[in-house]
Every structure is written in structure tokens, then in C-alpha cells.
A and B are shown apart, each in its own frame.
Chain A
Amino acid sequence: MAEGIDTRTDFVQTISYPRKGEDGAVIEIEKFSLWYGSHQALFDNTLNIERGLVTALIGPSGCGKSTLIRSLNRMNDLIDGLRISGTIRFNAENIYNPDVDVIGLRKRMGMVFQKPNPFPMTVADNVAYPLRVDGIRDRRVLDATVVRALKAAALWDEVKDRLNDNALGLSGGQQQRLCIARAIAGEPDVLLMDEPCSALDPLATAKIEDLIYELRGRYTIIIVTHNMQQAARVSDNTAFMYLGTLIEYGDTRTIFTNPKHGRTQDYVTGRFG
């Protein structure tokens, strides 16, 4: 586990957490409940995600973190028998309105998954994918985007000679950063990350954490994580969920040092999982 993370701890202390997002909430979740068939996974959750900050979602397995984050870009639409109630507003627009353009919504929310899922094509084609599906064919635009996104994802130096190699040949950590590059290539407002490091080794994890720190401010980032230290290191705000309910939400430092709820206290101190 060691070095990679240990060296990070000192920089954590140097972060100055902004108390509030600069222009208020970008996503407002209100009384949001969700059912998989007859099984209710989310219960009346209400929280606001602040623009430009990193928000961590923590909680034990099966508490509904993935369900919630996947509700934000409507990835749950793929599941048969799904039902919801309540509203989620993105830039003040209810994304579950029947006339919402789901594809446009997803273009404004990049998503990174638990397991790296690069497409079986070249590195460059992977990054250019969001633009290509948008109909952009201009080589110069595509090339510029690929370079910019790869640089932003701190991958450029490692892959600049391998742009036309198959992406599946990259290491796990590189693949995940490639997925981040892909997610930000289309210039989204929000970056959703569902346990982006859980399949990676400590060194690769540290790189991704660095990257999140770099991207902070440019994008609103929501990250689901199992790793308490990670949440403490990278996030401004933290939401703790338990059995489908939001238990506590607030400033990361407060959640970790002075939580209001006993359960939060137990969880962040590792007394239960």
C-alpha cells in the first residue's frame, strides 16, 4: 500500500478547502428516490453539488452510491423496470423531464467507471470519440483536442509516441487516465467518477488523485470512493450514504473530524464497513 499514498499525506494538509462553491449549486438533487423493480435503492435524497468543487460520495457497499451517481447522467435508463421519484436539476433544468435531450446531457457530464473501459481502438481515437460522435471530422480540431485532453489527463508524456497504438495495450492506470481524458475531451461541465481507483495499484491511484487535484476548479467533480483517505485527500465536500439514504453531507474536513451522526463517525473511523 505504502509509499504512493504516504507521500501524498503531506500535501493534503496544504490544501486550503474553499468553504463554498463560487457560483452555488450546479446539480440540485431533491427528494430523489429510485426503485429497481420492486427493490428501492434510494430513499428521498436531497443534496446540492457545488460548482467547481470536488464532492466525494462515501458509504458502505450497496448503499446506493453508484445508483445515485449514475442517476445524474441517466445511465440508469438502460435498466429495465427502473422507477424514480423526485427531481434532479442540472443547471436548474430537471433532467428527468420527458423532453430532456439525454444525449446532450451526457455530453455535458463526462463519466469515468470503476473498471477502465477504453474502446478497442487507438489511443487517439479513444480520446477523439466524444467529438467524433458529435460529427466533428476536422482533423486539426480532433488532433488539438486529443493533445489537450491527454495533457489535461497527465497522460501525454507517456503516450505521445503511442497515439496510434491500440489503447488496450496500455497499463491499467494509463487506461484509466485515458478514460478520464476521453471524459474531458468533450469539455463537459461535470465529471462523474465511480470508484475510479478501485481497480488500480497504489502508484496509479496516486497519479489519478494528483490528476483530480489538477482538474479541480475546471470541472465540477463527483467521485465515489471506498477509500476514506482518498476522500479526505481529494474532496472539498463529502456526502455519506447509508442504505440508500443520505446521512450526512458537508465540508470534507468537518465530516472527517467532527461528524454530527454517530454512523458517520463509525464509518469514517473504520469501525464498520
Chain B
Amino acid sequence: MQPLGKEKNTYDGEHREPDKPLPQASRAHDVPTGSALAARGEPFLWGLGGALTLGISMIVGFIILILWNGLITFYPKPVCMATLKNSRIIAGEPTRSELYRVADEQMESLDPDVQDEIRANQGFASRTLYRTGNYDLYNEDFRWVSDFEVQSASMPPDIFFVERLEWGPFIGFIHSVRLRSQELKGESLELGSLYSEHLKAVRRRQDVRRIERSEIGAVNHKMEKERLALRRVALRHGEQSDAFQEAQARYQERVRALQAEYEQLHSEAESIKQNDAQYQVTLVDVSGREKTILLSDIVRFYPANALSTFQKLGVYVSRWLEFLTQEPREANTEGGVMPAIFGTFVMTVLMAIAVAPFGVMAALYLREYAKQGRLVSIIRICVNNLAGVPSIVYGVFGLGFFAYIVGASIDELFFRERLPSPTFGTGGLLWAALTLALLTVPVVIVATEEALAAVPQSMREGSLACGASKWQTIRHIVLPKAMPGIMTGLILAMARGAGEVAPLMLIGVVKLAPELPIDGFFPYLHLERSFMHLGFHIYDVGFQSRNSEAAKPMVFVTTLLLISLIAVMNAVAIYARNRLKRKYYVGHF
């Protein structure tokens, strides 16, 4: 009955915008007022908004917690000295206070007026956790002190916080210092000269370390190379052959030379050590117990209650520097996490290098080449499900397949001389990176497919109509246009991979790696080495160390660092993506 309208519709069919809204009758009047609230959907709006708010506040709270705890950990705290009612004296950094319920048997041993006070408080009293340090003297680092135990408290200006290479911090006074034959004590003990003596001692320690680690390490490396070369000859020609006899003679000669080199370095280190042993400091704790240590065993010391804000900041910065650039000490609870930062970084980069071409090619095939049908749908569903497989399963697969099958075969083929100790036949950097690449490849595939699907068909047609082949079209038109989306997928994959710990524990991450995966020896990047990882470091420090209370701040700092590292890597990738976006916008041939 609408000839005019119909005619127009057919004629204009292709011109009508499909999303042009159809005229709609206003429905406000039809809705019964009784159900108005539900009909208008406002309760849902509140619910949705509330869910969002809750989610955001949880994230913000989490970030604030990590940031706050991570950032204050290294700030020097004052040291409080407390005389208890039983006339014992303790000193330490008050770390936190809490209310606790006093046990009945403890109540009985208390003064009546203290008992009354606690009862007035419904059986609760407050107590403070002191970090007392001096683990070698007390067998504990931390001690709870109830407020009612305390007779008097003070902040002595001459009390020192001494960080040592071993046994954790020492809190107490400096009794005397011995510099070779000279003994400084009391008045003659001047802080400025002590600092400069300490600096010299640290330099001696570093010299010894350099000789022992790098120079002797290089000698050992050469010796190992000679041994392997000999072993190779033995494997090729047999131990009875002339070639082997010859090689053995050469080997012995070279090893003798290396041995001499080693002896020389060793004696050099020994002489520095002997000299160093003459610089000692005697510390005394608040109850008068003395402890003498080498000056070079001190990492850092400062008069905790006599620091200006500026000096405190100095300590703060130097602790951060140590944390970021040094190797861990004391079962990872002290020192730095440089190897872990390095390991996480190298592993993530390798993973990205592995996952990018793999995922992009798979997605290209699925989206651009494969005939869209049931098989492709099934594959797509499988890929998506792959993202839901628990990551530890990937770890098991990585160990079983990469290390024990692929790695063992590689060892058999190329590293015969090193057997039975495995080279690639055990967990390591490469296998960890590949395992994580496998774990994150669905993310890249899905993101790439989406990005490819978002490239307008008209662009492809335009290119094909110009006589471009399918591959040229993909290479010059589709991929550049999809690149930002692909990069986004890669960024997501990197973020996921960098934070993954469970599979790594099976396939290459160790508590303490003897060597970095990159060093000065050929081939410089050692893919077979085990490595340290920040995520595993957090687990190890927080839950596997002898003293979880001491490690707790380190957990926060390391978490902060891990999050920052991932954030930085993502920021770099996002920056690269945006540059790429602009670059591909204008000319790309």
C-alpha cells in the first residue's frame, strides 16, 4: 500500500545508510508507572557503576599498597633504645605496633596495676615489633616488646645501624677501630675518617672480587675449553690414537700455563686479603657484647638517630642503587636483584622475539589464506582454549619436550664432549622463553586476527585491483594497517609472559644463578644457562627464606620492581607502536 515509499526504497537501496535510525514512537507514555524504575534501567546502572568503582578502587588500593611499602622500605628509620622493667636493654628499629590479647599465664606474672590496666582494656595490650638485628648474637632479627614491659626509652645519637655482608644488620655502638697497628677509640674516633677508611676497605673487597670472579673466572673458562677440546678429540679419534696423544700433550702444556696464571692471580688476591684483614672494627651492642668484624665486611653504616633529611635521602638512594645493580647476598634477602632484573628482561625479550613471528604467521594463515569453514573455526576455538590451560602444564610440557627431548638431542649431536652434564638437556633461558612463547601465542594470534579483520576489505580489493599479488597486498597494505593491533597483542603477551612464574620454576629459573645469561665469553648470549627471575625471586625471598619478617619489605620492593619493569617494557612497546603508526601512515616502501 505504499507504492511511493517502496519504490524509493528499492531505488535508493544502496545509498541508505544502514545505521540510520528508524523513526521510533516515543515509548515513555506506554510504560506503566509502577515498573518505571526497573524499566528505566537505573538500578542496573547503579550496579554497573558500583562494580566498576569497586574494581578500580581495588586496583588503586593495590597499587598504593605496593608503591607505599616498596618506596619506604629503604628509607632509614630511627633506632630506639628501650630499658625494660626486668632491666634488660634492647635497641632496634620499631617497625610496627599492634594490639594483642595477653595470654592468661603471662598475666599472672605481671604487676597488679599492669594487670588492672590490661583488664580495663578488655585483656588487650599494645606491643611493638623491633628490628633488633645482631642475628649472630641473639639468634633473631625481630623482637616483640609490649608497652607495659618498657621502663624507659631513648634515642641515643651515637647508636649505629651497620649493614654487614653477613649476619644482617648490627645495631649498636662503634667501640674501636683498628687500622693496621693504629687503634682508634673514644675521642680519636672521628666519623669522617672512618667513612673514608671504609671506602678504601670496600675498594679492596671489590678488587678481590674482581680477581676472583672475572680474572680467575676467565682462566677457568679457558681451562674448561681446553678440556672440552681434548674430549672432542677423544670422542672423534679414540683415546688410543696418535691425534689424541698429541692433543693431550698440547692440553697438558696449556693447562700448566693456565695453572701458573691462576696461581699468580690467587696469590695476588691473597695478599690483598691479608692486608685487608688488618683493618677491623669492634662493635658493641646495647647490652655490652662485643663483636669484631673486618671493615670491608661492612656494606654501609650510619648513625641512625643523628641523620639530617639530606643524609637520610643519601642512604635511601645508595640502598636503591645497591638493590638495582648488585647481586643478592644472604640467601637473597639482602643485596641486590640485578641478575633477576636481567634474567626477567632477557627472557621476556627472547619470548617476544619468538612469539611475534610465530603468532603473526599463524594468524595470517588463519585469516588471510585458510578457507573459512568448520575446520578453521575448530582451530580458532582450540587456540582460544589454549590460553586457558594452566601455566604449570606448559612448564611440564616445556621440560618434557624442549629440555628432555629437543635439548637432549641437541646435546647428543653438538655437545657430546660435555656429557653427561647436560647443556641444552635441562631447563634454561631458551627453553623458558620458548615455553612462555607457547603460553602467550594464543594472545598474539587472537589479537592479530582481530587486527587483520579490522583492515577494511576495500583496501585489500584496491590493492589486488592494482595487480598486487596476495602476498604483496598483505605485506604492503594489510600488515602495516594491522601493525598497531598486532603490537597491542604483543604487548599483552609480553605483560603476561613477564609476570609468569609457575612454568619457569620447572624450566630454568633458579634461586641463585652463578652466571648471567649474557657475558663477555663467546657466544656472549648463553641460551642454555639457568637464570634468575623477579617473580620467582619474590616467591623465594618471601616464603623460602629463614626469616620471613626480614624479607617482607624486600617482597614489596621486588614486587614494585617487577611491576615497574613490566610497565617500562610495555611503555617502550607502546611508544614503538605509536611511532610505527605514524611511520606507516606516511610512506613505507
Contacts and interface: CB of A to CB of B under 8 A. Distances in A.
Q: Do A and B bind each other?
A: yes
Interface of A: 60-62, 73, 75, 78, 80, 103-104, 106-107, 109-111, 113, 115, 117-122, 124-125, 128-130, 132-134, 164-166, 168, 179, 182-183, 186, 195, 198, 226, 272-273
Given A133-B472, A198-B15, A121 B588 contact: yes
Given A61-B11, A62-B13, A273-B8, A120 B464 contact: no
B463 A129 contact: yes
A125 B481 CA distance: 15
B456 A61 contact: no
Given A80-B371, A166-B586, A117 B14 contact: no
B467 A122 contact: no
Nearest to A186: B467
A186 to B, nearest CB: 6
A61 B13 contact: yes
Interface string B1-41: 00000011011111100000000000000000000000000
Nearest to A130: B466
Contacts of A183: 465-466
A198 B465 contact: no
Interface in B364-421: 371-372
B138 interface: no
A80 B374 CA distance: 14
Contacts of B372: 80
Contact of B587 (A80, A113, A164, A198): A164
A226 B10 CA distance: 12
Q: Is the interface of B mostly helix, strand, loop or mixed?
A: helix
B462 A125 contact: no
A273 B3 CA distance: 11
Contacts of A103: 467-469
Task: Sort chain B's interface into a size bin.
Answer: 20 to 34
B455 to A, nearest CB: 10
A273 B587 contact: no
A84 to B, nearest CB: 18
B459 A117 contact: yes
B7 A186 contact: no
Nearest to B15: A198
B547 to A, nearest CB: 59
15 contacts: A61-B12, A78-B460, A103-B467, A110-B466, A111-B461, A111-B465, A113-B458, A113-B465, A117-B459, A117-B462, A129-B476, A130-B466, A130-B468, A133-B468, A183-B466
Contacts of A132: 476, 589
B25 to A, nearest CB: 28
A254 to B, nearest CB: 23
B457 to A, nearest CB: 8
